[in-house]
Amino acid sequence: MIPELGQFALVLALGLALIQASLPLIGAAQGRDEWIALARPMAAGQFVFVAAAFLILTHAFTIDDFSVRYVAMHSNTALPFAYKVAAVWGGHEGSLLLWMLILAGWTLAVAAASRSLPEAYAARVIGVLGIVSVGILSFMLLTSNPFDRLLPAAVDGNDLNPLLQDPAFAIHPPMLYLGYVGFSVPFAFAVAALLTGSLDKRWARWTRPWTLGAWLFQTLGIALGSWWAYYELGWGGWWFWDPVENASFMPWLAGTALIHSLAVTDRRGIFKSWTILLAILAFSLSLLGTFIVRSGLLTSVHAFASDPERGLFILMLLMLITGGALVLYAMRAGRMEAEGGFKLVSREAFLLLNNILLVVATGLVLVGTLYPMVLDAAGYGTVSVGPPYFNTTFSIPMLPLVLLLGLGMHASWLGMRGETLVRKLVPAAIIAVLGGIVLTVVVSRGLDNVLTPIGIIAGLWVVIASFWDPIMRLVRRESRTVPLSRAQWGMIVAHAGVGLFVLGVTVTSAFTIESDQAMAPGDSASIAGFDFEFRGVREVEGPNYDAYEAEVAVRRNGSPVTLLAPQKRVYRVQRNPMTEAAIDPALRRDLFVALGEPLGGNAWSVRIQYRPMLRFVWLGALLMALGGLLAATDRRYRAEQRQAAEVTPGRLVGNTETA
Amino acid sequence: MISALRLPICIVAALFATTAFAIGPEEPFADPVLEAEYQALIHEVRCPMCQNQTIADSTAPIAADLRRELRELMGNGASRDEAARFLVERYGDFVLYRPPFQPTTWALWGAPILLSALGLLVFVRTVRARSAQPLDEELPPS
């Protein structure tokens, strides 16, 4: 009976979403205050019912209600409690429910925090979010109902995919979806502005914190996914250019571009139509990602063709939402662009270049991801587009982006003399080049790629250039100058994160040493100055799996470093073997040992890796997210919140800016 | 695997003196250049039976078989390209993570150049247009 209540809650939520998606929008167009006023209550009610459905599904998991098909497919009585909760989003239907819950949550947040916006405009934003809700809720109810019954009920469940039984996995999808779905907010702000017909100069300021919020969650979500893949998939890579990864990476790239173009629109009131287009693009790529992951297209084009119901539904949704927004854009965006000049050497020009390079990068990921699917669907055979393609082509936009970043941060708005800019940063560049050469010599073993020192220097350059202003303030003891704002610190920290990321990627991909060994008890292998002694394998028992656990003692110059215990697990229900790598993490290097197959006798195949500076990859991502948090919580946005809205959007607002 | 015997394996044999196995970790070529070529190749070959993995990463039996066959081919003097061609003949282009340059992939390999050129054009045109426009007299403070 309780699961039926969950389904009923979803139906009610759909009903409220239908009202939210229609009456406030019509009300805003016709000036009917009582319809405009419906937006917030509908958003709140929708959140309550979606949350209720989510709790009911979670409850079904925690009490092992195997009469619910979805629970029977993704859980088991022996599954540890925490994973029963995480199993709610371990499959298709529950993932969508989580997607929907997060959409309802963002909508509620917008409803609560939009009091300072003009009423009609806020109603339009919430109305547009309502349209997305209607799409996702009807998709769930028509094709992917998580509350479908299984009769007769299963005696025990099919268990959660062992790959997903992991703490990082438990929080990875919620983080990622907070980002993915969060881009619906700037999208709704953009479409609402298009509906209004013109763009208030404050529009960018309203949109910025929301975009930063979505972006920082997306950053964390992608980093968590990469970390999880590193230690859970068992072969030590951290990014595979897999279509699932690309699906989350594309909206991130477009979102990064959006953050930067919003800065120009906020500050100068120009690039308006471009910013709006990016907001549409970022969310459309989120929907495209959902389509790629959820349609079955990934397994193969043929799996999609044999069961096209779900895929076609999302494709239609994607075309309706994106197509509708683009038609509106084509009709309205033309008259929005404002005049405003800038010189070749100016903050604006650098940010323009940032946007172009990021969009080119997005385009490359898009082409590489979709190409095999399109080619196959068109009957021209199958190809695989993998790391060799992406690594080669991606550096074309990325290397200039990273090198120019250090300059762009220090360029003045409107324009400045190029000479002034260069002279300011010559010391930073010299330090980066010298430091890069030293670091290359220290970490290198047989350098064979000219891109390696360039990458190292580029990474250092970005870190140093990011912190150049605060460093110079310290050096010159300038205490009387205005302190850096939180937004400025956010920019510094996030960009330093980019530098650390580049450094980590370059060093770890150039100098990783991996070796597959056959080891019997007592055997030793020496890699990168570390001695790995294989002491044997014993059987251990987990709550829902059996495992072989190896003991590998690591020494350096005779003194012990660590004791690693990689496992080979077989989960009792699904029976597929899983590799649990053992890792000794450190900022300077990771030591990674994975247990392979038994080779007869007492011997096992063992994969050993030495990965220098791998942690910098995730440290960089963390700093980017932290920078986003600092920028999103800057005082000027909160001041904006308190400021009552007196001017309706539609009139061009003059200099009403507060500091 | 007769050809394994043909490999110059004296060094390798010493390394594995205590652990001689039918399958498992492979004995590297004595020639480091050849070994590097081989490693580069297996890191670009897709395991035909796996979800999305190279044969270097995969622990599936077919990946081990393919690694052994490629090692044999290259040990017998086949170049990296020849070894790759052998795989394509058996499994199709699908097996290579680096798509071959051919009419069906012209658009794929042309995309980076086209997109970059387009981006550069947009940049030049926008900056030219904007630098002709008047600068705002009063730029609000941040």
pLDDT-derived band at A577 (thresholds 50, 70, 90) equals confident
Contact B138, A655 (CB under 8 A): yes
Q: Tokens 């910013």, residue?
A: A275
Give the CA distances from residue A167 to residues A61, A230, A565, in Å, rounded to whole numbers and listed in that order: 17, 14, 18
Q: State how far residue B71 is from chain A, nearest Cα, in angstroms.
A: 15
**Contact A356/B122, CB-based, under 8 Å?**
yes
- In DSSP terms, A612 is beta-bridged to A589
DSSP H or E run through A329: helix A309-332
Give the CA distances from residue A239 to residues A231, A362, A540, in Å, rounded to whole numbers and listed in that order: 12, 16, 31
Which pLDDT does position A18 carry in this prediction?
Answer: 98
Question: Does residue B31 share a domain with residue B79?
Answer: yes
**Contact B115/A363, CB-based, under 8 Å?**
yes
pLDDT-derived band at A190 (thresholds 50, 70, 90) equals very high
Evaluated on CA atoms B127, A416, A403, A222, the torsion sign reads negative
Chain A interface, mutation test: which of B33, B35, B37, B59, most A Cβ atoms within 10 Å?
A: B59
Closest CA to A97 of A29, A65, A49, A37: A49
Tell me which of A55 and A373 has the higher pLDDT.
A55
Contact A545, A572 (CB under 8 A): yes
**Contact A383/B94, CB-based, under 8 Å?**
yes
Q: State how far residue B22 is from chain A, nearest Cα, in angstroms.
A: 8
Question: Does residue B121 share a domain with residue B64?
Answer: no
Instruction: Output the domain CATH number for residue B45.
Output: 1.10.8.640
From chain A, pick out residues whose CB is under 8 angstroms from the CB of B22: 600
Question: Does residue B74 share a domain with residue B110?
Answer: no
Question: Does residue B66 share a domain with residue B31?
Answer: yes
CA closest to A243 among chain B residues = B52
Which pLDDT does position B15 carry in this prediction?
Answer: 34
Residue positions counted in chain B: 142
What distance in Å separates the CA atoms of residue A248 and residue A140, rounded to the nearest whole number? Answer: 21
pLDDT-derived band at A302 (thresholds 50, 70, 90) equals low
Tell me which of A637 and A25 has the higher pLDDT.
A25
Contact A168, A228 (CB under 8 A): yes
Which pLDDT does position B11 carry in this prediction?
Answer: 34
Structural domain of residue B112, as residue ranges?
103-132
- In DSSP terms, A147 is beta-bridged to none
Q: What is the pLDDT of residues A99-148, one digit of tens each?
A: 999 999 999 999 999 998 999 999 999 999 999 999 999 999 999 999 99
From chain B, pick out residues whose CB is under 8 angstroms from the CB of A266: none
Q: Is residue B140 part of a domain?
A: no
What distance in Å separates the CA atoms of residue A117 and residue A120, rounded to the nearest whole number? Answer: 8
For B52, the closest of A240, A356, A382 (CB atoms) is A240
From chain B, pick out residues whose CB is under 8 angstroms from the CB of A353: 123
Task: Name the residue type at position B86.
Answer: F
Asked whether residue A412 carries a pLDDT value surpassing 70, the answer given is: yes
Give the CA distances from residue A326 to residues A134, A197, A527, in Å, rounded to whole numbers and listed in that order: 19, 14, 55
**Contact A364/B18, CB-based, under 8 Å?**
no
Q: What is the pLDDT of residues A66-83, one digit of tens each?
A: 999 999 999 999 999 999
Contact B24, A597 (CB under 8 A): yes
pLDDT mean across residues, chain A: 91
Q: Is A156 on the interface with B (CB under 8 A)?
A: no
**What is the mean pLDDT of the segment spanning A527-542?**
94
Q: Is A371 on the interface with B (CB under 8 A)?
A: yes
Evaluated on CA atoms A489, A494, A495, A497, the torsion sign reads positive
Tokens found for residue A502: 């580049």
Count of structural domains within chain B: 2
Q: What is the pLDDT of residues A85-97, one digit of tens each?
A: 999 999 889 999 9
Residue positions counted in chain A: 659
Which pLDDT does position A234 carry in this prediction?
Answer: 65
Supply φ then ψ for residue A524, to 5 degrees.
-130, 150
Question: Does residue B63 share a domain with residue B11?
Answer: yes
Contacts of B47 (CB under 8 A, 6+ apart): B53, B54, B55, B57, B58, B60, B62, B63, B66
Which pLDDT does position A639 carry in this prediction?
Answer: 67
Question: Does residue B113 share a domain with residue B86?
Answer: no
pLDDT-derived band at A46 (thresholds 50, 70, 90) equals very high
Residues 584-613 of A with CB under 8 A from B: 596-597, 599-601, 603, 605
Number of residue pairs across A and B with CB atoms under 8 Å?
Answer: 155
Q: Is residue B138 part of a domain?
A: no
Question: Does residue B84 share a domain with residue B55?
Answer: yes
Q: Is residue B141 part of a domain?
A: no
Question: Does residue B26 share a domain with residue B79?
Answer: yes
CA angle B65, B68, B74 (to 5 degrees): 140
Residues 501-530 of A with CB under 8 A from B: 516-520, 523
ipTM strictly over 0.90? no
Q: Is residue B83 part of a domain?
A: yes
Q: Is residue B43 part of a domain?
A: yes
For A357, the closest of B59, B95, B119 (CB atoms) is B119
Q: Is A543 on the interface with B (CB under 8 A)?
A: no
Q: Is residue B137 part of a domain?
A: no
Q: What is the pLDDT of residues A635-646, one digit of tens each?
A: 888 766 655 444
Question: Does residue B33 share a domain with residue B55?
Answer: yes
Which pLDDT does position A195 carry in this prediction?
Answer: 94
Chain A interface, mutation test: which of B26, B47, B52, most A Cβ atoms within 10 Å?
A: B52
Q: What is the pLDDT of residues A222-258, one digit of tens each?
A: 999 999 888 887 677 889 898 889 999 999 999 999 9
The per-residue pLDDT string of chain B (142 residues; one tens digit each, 9 = 90 and over) reads 333 333 333 333 333 332 323 334 677 888 888 988 998 999 999 988 887 888 988 877 888 899 999 999 999 999 999 999 999 999 999 999 999 999 999 999 999 999 999 999 999 999 999 999 887 655 555 4
Q: What is the pLDDT of residues A311-343, one digit of tens each?
A: 888 889 999 999 999 999 999 988 787 888 999
From chain B, pick out residues whose CB is under 8 angstroms from the CB of A523: 18-19
Asked whether residue A649 carries a pLDDT value surpassing 50, the answer given is: no
Contact A287, A322 (CB under 8 A): yes
CA closest to B33 among chain A residues = A448
Contact A107, A130 (CB under 8 A): yes
What distance in Å separates the CA atoms of residue A448 and residue A276, rounded to the nearest whole number? Answer: 44
Question: Does residue B113 share a domain with residue B63?
Answer: no
Contact B109, A400 (CB under 8 A): no
Tokens found for residue B9: 């394996």
Mode of pairing for the β-strands spanning A589-598 and A582-584: antiparallel
* CB atoms closer than 10 angstroms to residue A83: 23
Which pLDDT does position A486 carry in this prediction?
Answer: 94
For A655, the closest of B57, B94, B140 (CB atoms) is B140
Question: Does residue B113 share a domain with residue B66?
Answer: no
Q: State how far residue A400 is from chain B, nearest Cα, in angstroms.
A: 11
Which pLDDT does position A232 carry in this prediction?
Answer: 80
**Contact A342/B131, CB-based, under 8 Å?**
yes
The DSSP 8-state label assigned to residue A484 in this structure reads P
Question: Does residue B113 share a domain with residue B87?
Answer: no
Q: Is A237 on the interface with B (CB under 8 A)?
A: yes
DSSP H or E run through A218: helix A203-232
Q: State how far residue A140 is from chain B, nearest Cα, in angstroms.
A: 27
Tell me which of A640 and A589 has the higher pLDDT.
A589
The percent of residues in chain A predicted with pLDDT above 70, rounded, is: 94
Mode of pairing for the β-strands spanning A524-527 and A513-519: unpaired
**What is the mean pLDDT of the segment spanning A183-207?**
92
* CB atoms closer than 10 angstroms to residue B105: 19
